[in-house]
Amino acid sequence: MTDEPTEAGGTTRTTSSSGSTASGGGASPRPAAASSERLSVPKSSVCSRSYFVVVMVFFHVYIVNVIALLLYVHYSSGQEDAGPPGRDAAQGEQQHQQQQARSQRLPSSTQSLRDVSLPRVEGVRVGHVQKLSLVPNKVHEITTLSLKPLLFEIPGFLSEDECRVVMQLAHLKGLTESQLMVQDGQEELAKELNLSPEEIFNLLDINQDGQLQLHEILTHSRVRDGIWLTPENLQEIYTGLKVDKDENGLLSLEEFRLLSADAFQRFLLQRGVERSQLVRNSRHTWLYQGRGAHQVLQDIKERVTRLTRLPSTLVDLSEPLQVVRYEEGGHYHAHHDSGPVYPETACTHTRLAANASTPFETSCRYITVLFYLNSVDGGGETAFPVADNRTFDEVCLIQNGVDLMDTRRNCEKSNLRVKATKGKAVFWYNYLSDGKGWVGEQDEYALHGGCVVTQGTKWVANKWINIDPDYQRQARYQQLVSQQPEDEDEDEDGLTLHFDIHQEL
């Protein structure tokens, strides 16, 4: 790539220099002489020798310019195409060198694996229905719910019996609190980032007016130590810590300095926290789905593989099934199941295969398949606040005190809500495609949450399919867990076979 402009520039220079040489260089004395002669020559001697010379010189200059222009157009368009015939030797050599440089960046052994292209189910348009046979004697209907994120619904994905077995197995194993009351760790991250209060203030001050409005703080700090902050909570904290001296609901830099992370935490601990104030108010457990697991769990995994059309290796190597139970009053505020893609981020599932340790580790869940194991009597829908929102902007998630991510208060303002109905499954892509058949950027529109359960209990299960957006890391990880020489035993998907790593679960 970097060589191409030089090449094009070189061609341009050739064109202009050939023009200037002809007119200003060796040919200049003649036109000058000719023009003075021409003035003195009467019209009748138009066929004189000097007049002929002048005409011929201009004619040649013109021809040379046209040829140069044609050559320039020919070469510069030839460079943009992948490989048109008729390229000269120098250019061919240059292309060859570029290709070599590119392949040196990728280890040759994994390059063949790069041919793998992850299929994506097509959404076509909202309301589009696709029929698919996932189990014998049954046709499932897959309805597109939104295109941003790419989201589908499949009624009756699980049978009543399957729902019952999954809930019983989870019950047997025992569920644990999804979120503990007080968490730490955020403090360490802030230290690691090494930001001064001024720097943080500037980052938070979205409209750069030198004041922090409530929503500017909440956009980035809605979650403090696992606690969900509402605008009223924040106001209460300001009052409790006496930071907002002029009580105008805005913080100046001086006032912001008083709002240290320590003070924040001390205040929350002193005041006490209720379960309803947590980000996630539920209990959950994990069920292994590999060889030796209950047949229903293996069947579900198999069905998910068919539904997503992904290589079975990827589904097998993904997290176990997560079963979640919400009591009445339970909720899960809007969140992403997966983290954003930055060069320094490592995925939890491929961490072993990553070369360097990194402070940023995140779940890389390409797809979420969410199953409803019971029909909820009241509330408990899954909300997608910004699904198919044409004018989505992170800043707009809190407006006029309405926080669209708050699923206890504002679920009805979400763009899309899915009713919790026994046996139904929804699935969506948490990442876009990179356009080359692999995982691309995080899909910001995949934001979702569980609305508060107003009556009864709610049981769901999550099947996450983990794929590292860094192709090389995913390939290395698969080699590692397969413990086989990398070129052996490739299945029809081109991905190396492996034994199951979740056996101990």
Which positions touch ligand OGA (CB under 6 A)?
324, 332, 337, 370, 382, 448-450, 460, 462
Question: What letters, b where the CB count within 10 A reaches 16 and e where it falls short, cover 242-270?
Answer: ebbeeeeebbbeebbeebeeeebbeebee
Q: Which is nearer to Fe ion, 238 or 459 (CB)?
A: 459
Cβ burial of 424 (10 Å; 0-12, 13-18, 19+) is: buried
Element holding 335 (H helix, E strand): strand 331-335
CB of 335 to Fe ion, least distance (A): 6
The β-bridge relationship of strands 361-362 and 346-347 is parallel
CB of 176 to Ca ion, least distance (A): 40
Task: State the residue number with the nearest CB to Fe ion.
Answer: 337
Q: Which is nearer to Fe ion, 68 or 418 (CB)?
A: 418
Closest CA to 373 of 421, 329, 331: 421
How many Å separate Cα 61 from the centre of its chain?
56
CB of 449 to Fe ion, least distance (A): 7
Q: Which is nearer to ligand OGA, 68 or 324 (CB)?
A: 324
CB 198 within 8 A of CB 297: no
Answer for which of 337, 468, 470, 486 binds Fe ion (CB under 5 A) is: 337
CB 469 within 8 A of CB 350: no
How many Å separate Cα 137 from the centre of its chain?
37
CA torsion 86-87-89-95 (nearest 10°) is: -140
CB of 454 to ligand OGA, least distance (A): 14
| 151 contact choice in ligand OGA, Fe ion, Ca ion, none (CB below 5 to 8 Å, kind-dependent) | none
Counting every residue, how long is the chain? 505
Q: Which is nearer to Fe ion, 337 or 443 (CB)?
A: 337
Q: Which residues are CB-contacts of 148 (< 8 A; sequence separation ≥ 6)?
A: 387, 388, 389, 443, 445
Q: Which is nearer to ligand OGA, 213 or 382 (CB)?
A: 382
| 207 contact choice in Ca ion, Fe ion, ligand OGA, none (CB below 5 to 8 Å, kind-dependent) | Ca ion
| 179 contact choice in ligand OGA, Ca ion, Fe ion, none (CB below 5 to 8 Å, kind-dependent) | none
| 293 contact choice in Ca ion, ligand OGA, Fe ion, none (CB below 5 to 8 Å, kind-dependent) | none
CB of 325 to ligand OGA, least distance (A): 10
| 460 contact choice in Fe ion, ligand OGA, Ca ion, none (CB below 5 to 8 Å, kind-dependent) | ligand OGA
Element holding 326 (H helix, E strand): strand 321-326
- If binding means CB under 5 A, how many residues of this protein chain bind Ca ion? 4
CB of 285 to Fe ion, least distance (A): 16
CB of 447 to ligand OGA, least distance (A): 10
Q: Which residues are CB-contacts of 474 (< 8 A; sequence separation ≥ 6)?
A: 350, 467, 468
How many Å separate Cα 29 from the centre of its chain?
66
Binding status of residue 406 toward Fe ion by CB under 5 A = no
CB 451 within 8 A of CB 323: no
Q: Which is nearer to ligand OGA, 87 or 173 (CB)?
A: 173
| 450 contact choice in Ca ion, ligand OGA, Fe ion, none (CB below 5 to 8 Å, kind-dependent) | ligand OGA
Q: Which is nearer to ligand OGA, 54 or 460 (CB)?
A: 460
Integer distance in angstroms from the first to the last C-alpha of the chain? 49
CB of 210 to Ca ion, least distance (A): 7
CB 483 within 8 A of CB 382: no
CB of 178 to ligand OGA, least distance (A): 8
| 324 contact choice in ligand OGA, Fe ion, Ca ion, none (CB below 5 to 8 Å, kind-dependent) | ligand OGA
User: Contacts with Ca ion in 194-213 (CB under 5 A)?
Assistant: 205, 207, 209, 211
Q: Which residues are CB-contacts of 305 (< 8 A; sequence separation ≥ 6)?
A: 312, 315
CA Rg value for the chain? 33
CB of 224 to Fe ion, least distance (A): 20
- If binding means CB under 5 A, how many residues of this protein chain bind Fe ion? 1
| 330 contact choice in ligand OGA, Fe ion, Ca ion, none (CB below 5 to 8 Å, kind-dependent) | none
CA angle 291, 317, 384 (to 5 degrees): 115
User: Contacts with Fe ion in 458-477 (CB under 5 A)?
Assistant: none
CB of 180 to ligand OGA, least distance (A): 17
Q: Which is nearer to ligand OGA, 456 or 494 (CB)?
A: 456
Q: Which is nearer to Ca ion, 215 or 349 (CB)?
A: 215
Distance between CA 289 and CA 300 in Å, rounded?
A: 8
Q: Which is nearer to Fe ion, 333 or 476 (CB)?
A: 333
The residues that touch Fe ion, with contacts defined as CB under 5 A, are 337
The residues that touch Ca ion, with contacts defined as CB under 5 A, are 205, 207, 209, 211
